[in-house]
């Protein structure tokens, strides 16, 4: 087996991974930095797909305290408050870095100041953007700067499993698959960053690209690491609904449409959101998603089973100017977003839960760090739109800084546990040359199970049914072989590996949802619709022991503000 030794291994090339690379090299240019990614750097991942923008308190009328309170209240008071404060306090620094050091061009006001638009759930319009193509602007500049530096690139490489050290001192490296050659590669590293992103593609309607399969969270579970808040899966209210047989269905029509004044209407033509929340279409994503599902279940669905978003009343030319990318995307599917209306449905978008980590991005496993959507705690029960790309870039930069600082103190490259390497190798190679199973059938059942029973509206009966179905799927995947033994770009093999990870993480979502017998943020139990006592809030922590998933709850530490208090009012 090929073995690569490096100082820093970065798994993932989105905002978190690329920012970590740049900051690590800035701290110490002599560090050997390796980026491994399933696709191509600058061309894959969720950061590139960001349309809306980046939340940051830079307007003199706004404040970090106000952004913090919006984040905590939006997160249902489940956030790790120190991590949430780090997010909002570092975001102004990071946005200046993006503009002045990395060359991003964000939209400006006539006076030259950065334009900030309205996003839901916020008390101030603080979302910085580049039209509705913000992610492309950010990831292009990050990729360009990364290419200029001496960074090793392992493209078309997928991480398979974490490899502990032989002396049990922490992480030694990662077993990887070179998809171009089909060969396994052991990468040993003095420090590894998990930045693979989340990607809830286990749902029937979802926004992330098909290569996103929760690989980082699955690897963490298999390694026995704790994950928190896994029941908290965010559904974006307005995913394009173009029919059953197109991958365009689920594509996000970004929140700025509703912030700009777009209306949600049902099949009767009624604008319905004010019947559910005083903020109307600018309510938080969880509330809007549940309201849409209520209209659908009440028999007021559009022809394809969703509702409509209408923008024509705002003036077609205005909409075309402000949302050029989305107007063109909808036109490609035969819809006139600017002058007409478009069918939408809530679509699985983001995972608030993930790996437990601290303010230096360190995890409980020494030499393993994490940043971005692989992590939990920053957003609590529900992420504000615009806080996602801020999360990736803020904590990616922090990870790069803290890893470089630690490597200056610890120069050790650990030996890999041979038994763990052997077990991971056997797991990865086991399906090759065996009889084919029905992977397509498993995927369809996974879509339906997660959408119907572990989706926006949940019940004890539905979750119990889903848990049985998911356990059956996990066993069926083990029995599914890959008849063609050719390893190079074997897409059936990749599909099986993706599904294996998706089903494992789906099991974690389901088990955590069963354990939370109240409603909070993105988690809504129809049989327990009330929000429990905020002052006694607890978050879930899930681990895998053998084949069993166990959940415990921990009390939320109100380190900066308690329910009923406000940092913002105190600051004013």
Strands (DSSP E) found in 274-400: 307-310, 341-351, 354-355, 368-370
Sign, CA dihedral 404-408-410-414, equals positive
Report how far residue 164's alpha carbon sits from residue 172's, in angstroms, rounded to the nearest whole number: 5
What are the sequence ranges of the domains in the chain? 233-349
DSSP 275: G
Q: Is 129 known to be catalytic?
A: no
Please identify which of the residues 206, 236, 341, 544 carries the catalytic annotation: 236
Average pLDDT over residues 177-184: 96
**Parallel/antiparallel/unpaired status of strands 183-194 and 368-370:** parallel
Rounded to 5°, angle at Cα 199 from 392 and 498:
130
Per-residue pLDDT of 96-148, as tens digits, reads: 999 999 999 999 999 999 999 988 889 999 999 998 889 999 999 999 999 99
Asked if the model's pLDDT at residue 421 lies above 60, the reply is yes
The alpha carbon of residue 260 and the mean position of all alpha carbons in its chain are separated, in whole angstroms, by: 25
Two tokens, residue 51: 């349309």
Residue whose C-alpha is closest to residue 542's, from 356, 370, 379: 356
The predicted structure's pLDDT at residue 453: 98
Who contacts 514 (Cβ-Cβ below 8 Å, separation ≥6)? 460, 463, 464, 467
Rounded to 5°, angle at Cα 81 from 75 and 87:
85
Report how far residue 492's alpha carbon sits from residue 501's, in angstroms, rounded to the nearest whole number: 14
Q: How many CB atoms lie within 10 A of CB 297?
A: 10
Q: In degrees rounded to 5, what are phi and psi of residue 377? A: 110, -30
Query: 363 with 356: CB under 8 angstroms?
Result: yes
Report how far residue 77's alpha carbon sits from residue 102's, in angstroms, rounded to the nearest whole number: 34
Asked if the model's pLDDT at residue 247 lies above 80, the reply is no
DSSP 169: S
Q: How many CB atoms lie within 10 A of CB 2?
A: 11
Q: Is 141 known to be catalytic?
A: no
- Stretch among 33-42, 84-93, 396-405, 477-486 having the lowest mean pLDDT: 477-486
Asked if the model's pLDDT at residue 415 lies above 50, the reply is yes
Per-residue pLDDT of 490-544, as tens digits, reads: 999 999 999 999 999 999 999 999 999 999 999 999 999 999 999 999 999 999 9
- Stretch among 254-258, 383-387, 417-421 having the lowest mean pLDDT: 254-258
The predicted structure's pLDDT at residue 546: 87
Per-residue pLDDT of 488-501, as tens digits, reads: 999 999 999 999 99
The predicted structure's pLDDT at residue 409: 76
The predicted structure's pLDDT at residue 569: 63
Asked if the model's pLDDT at residue 215 lies above 60, the reply is yes
If you write DSSP's letter for every residue of 453-498 in order, what string do you get? HSSSSB-HHHHHHHHHHHHHHHHHHHH-BB-----TT-HHHHHHHH
HEC string for 143-181: HHHHHCCCEEEEECEEEEEEEEECCCCCEEEEEEEECCC
Give the residues across from 554 on adjacent strands: 539
Report how far residue 463's alpha carbon sits from residue 528's, in angstroms, rounded to the nearest whole number: 13
DSSP 374: G
> What CATH code is assigned to 233-349?
3.90.700.10
Rounded to 5°, angle at Cα 469 from 468 and 472:
90
Two tokens, residue 60: 């003199």
Asked if the model's pLDDT at residue 47 lies above 80, the reply is yes
Residue whose C-alpha is closest to residue 166's, from 544, 421, 427: 421
The predicted structure's pLDDT at residue 249: 86
Report how far residue 482's alpha carbon sits from residue 451's, in angstroms, rounded to the nearest whole number: 28
Rounded to 5°, angle at Cα 478 from 451 and 172:
95
Instruction: Give the percent of the chain with pLDDT over 70.
Output: 99
Asked if the model's pLDDT at residue 265 lies above 60, the reply is yes
Report how far residue 249's alpha carbon sits from residue 344's, in angstroms, rounded to the nearest whole number: 9
The predicted structure's pLDDT at residue 532: 95
Two tokens, residue 445: 């059942």
Give the residues across from 240 on adjacent strands: 344
Residue whose C-alpha is closest to residue 58's, from 81, 92, 35, 31: 92
Q: Scanning the structure block, which residue is given the tokens 């912030």?
A: 259
Average pLDDT over residues 328-337: 90
3-state helix, strand, coil in the chain (%, to 5): 40, 20, 40
Who contacts 298 (Cβ-Cβ below 8 Å, separation ≥6)? none
Query: 230 with 273: CB under 8 angstroms?
Result: no
- Reported as a pLDDT band with limits 50, 70 and 90, residue 440 is very high
Two tokens, residue 171: 């992480």
Distances from the Cα of 423 to the Cα of 145, 225, 486, 495, angstroms: 38, 18, 21, 20
Average pLDDT over residues 10-28: 96
Q: Could you tell me the maximum CA-CA distance found in the chain, to the nearest angstrom?
A: 67
The predicted structure's pLDDT at residue 570: 45
Query: 14 with 197: CB under 8 angstroms?
Result: yes
Q: In degrees rounded to 5, what are phi and psi of residue 420? A: -65, -40
DSSP 528: B
If you write DSSP's letter for every residue of 509-525 in order, what string do you get? HHHHHHH--S-BTTB-B
Residue whose C-alpha is closest to residue 215's, from 245, 251, 174: 174
Note if the pTM is more than 0.75.
yes
- Reported as a pLDDT band with limits 50, 70 and 90, residue 4 is very high
Asked if the model's pLDDT at residue 388 lies above 50, the reply is yes
Residue-averaged pLDDT of the chain: 94
Please identify which of the residues 23, 141, 258, 282 carries the catalytic annotation: 258
Report how far residue 282's alpha carbon sits from residue 290's, in angstroms, rounded to the nearest whole number: 14
């Amino acid at each position: 087996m090929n073995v690569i030794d490096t100082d820093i291994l970065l798994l993932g090339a989105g905002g978190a991974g690329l920012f970590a690379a740049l900051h690590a090299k800035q701290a110490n240019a002599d560090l050997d930095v390796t980026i491994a990614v399933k696709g191509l750097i600058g061309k894959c991942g969720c950061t590139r797909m960001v349309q809306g923008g980046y939340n940051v308190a830079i307007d003199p009328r706004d404040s970090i305290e106000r952004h913090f309170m919006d984040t905590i209240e939006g997160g249902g008071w489940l956030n790790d408050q120190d991590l949430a404060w780090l997010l909002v306090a570092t975001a102004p620094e990071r946005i200046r870095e993006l503009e002045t050091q990395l060359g991003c061009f964000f939209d400006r006001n006539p006076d030259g100041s950065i334009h900030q638009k309205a996003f839901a759930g916020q008390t101030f319009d603080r979302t910085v953007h580049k039209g509705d193509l913000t992610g492309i602007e950010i990831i292009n500049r990050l990729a360009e700067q990364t290419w200029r530096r001496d960074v090793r690139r392992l493209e078309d490489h997928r991480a398979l499993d974490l490899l502990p050290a032989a002396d049990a001192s922490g992480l030694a490296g990662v077993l990887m698959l070179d998809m171009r050659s089909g060969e396994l590669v052991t990468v040993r590293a003095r420090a590894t960053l998990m930045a693979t992103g989340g990607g809830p593609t286990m749902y029937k309607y979802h926004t992330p690209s098909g290569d996103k399969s929760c690989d980082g969270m699955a690897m963490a579970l298999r390694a026995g690491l704790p994950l928190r808040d896994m029941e908290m899966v965010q559904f974006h209210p307005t995913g394009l609904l173009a029919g059953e047989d197109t991958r365009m269905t689920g594509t996000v029509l970004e929140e700025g449409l509703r912030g700009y004044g777009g209306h949600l209407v049902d099949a009767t033509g009624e604008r319905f959101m004010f019947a559910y929340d005083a903020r109307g279409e600018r309510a938080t994503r969880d509330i809007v998603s549940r309201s849409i599902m209520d209209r659908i279940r009440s028999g007021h669905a559009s022809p394809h089973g969703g509702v409509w978003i209408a923008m024509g009343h705002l003036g077609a030319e205005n909409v075309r100017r402000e949302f050029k990318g989305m107007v063109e995307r909808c036109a490609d599917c035969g819809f006139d977003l600017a002058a007409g209306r478009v069918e939408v449905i809530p679509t699985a978008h983001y995972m608030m839960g993930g790996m437990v980590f601290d303010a230096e991005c360190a995890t409980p496993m020494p030499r393993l760090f994490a940043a971005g959507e692989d992590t939990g705690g920053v957003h609590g029960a529900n992420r504000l739109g615009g806080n996602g790309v801020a999360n990736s870039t803020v904590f990616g930069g922090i990870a790069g800084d803290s890893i470089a600082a630690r490597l200056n103190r610890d120069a050790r490259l650990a030996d890999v546990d041979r038994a763990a390497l052997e077990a991971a190798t056997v797991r990865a190679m086991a399906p090759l040359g065996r009889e084919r199973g029905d992977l397509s059938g498993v995927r369809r059942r996974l879509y339906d199970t997660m959408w119907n029973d572990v989706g926006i509206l949940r019940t004890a009966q539905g979750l119990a049914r889903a848990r049985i179905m998911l356990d059956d799927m996990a066993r069926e995947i083990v029995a599914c072989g890959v008849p063609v033994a050719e390893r190079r770009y074997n897409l059936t093999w990749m599909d099986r590996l993706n599904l294996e990870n998706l089903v494992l993480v789906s099991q974690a979502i389901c088990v955590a949802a069963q354990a939370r017998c109240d409603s909070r943020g993105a988690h809504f139990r129809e049989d327990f619709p009330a929000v429990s006592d905020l002052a006694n809030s607890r978050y879930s922590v899930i681990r895998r022991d053998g084949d069993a998933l166990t959940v415990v709850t921990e009390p939320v530490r109100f380190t900066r503000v308690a329910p009923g208090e406000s940092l913002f009012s105190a600051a004013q």
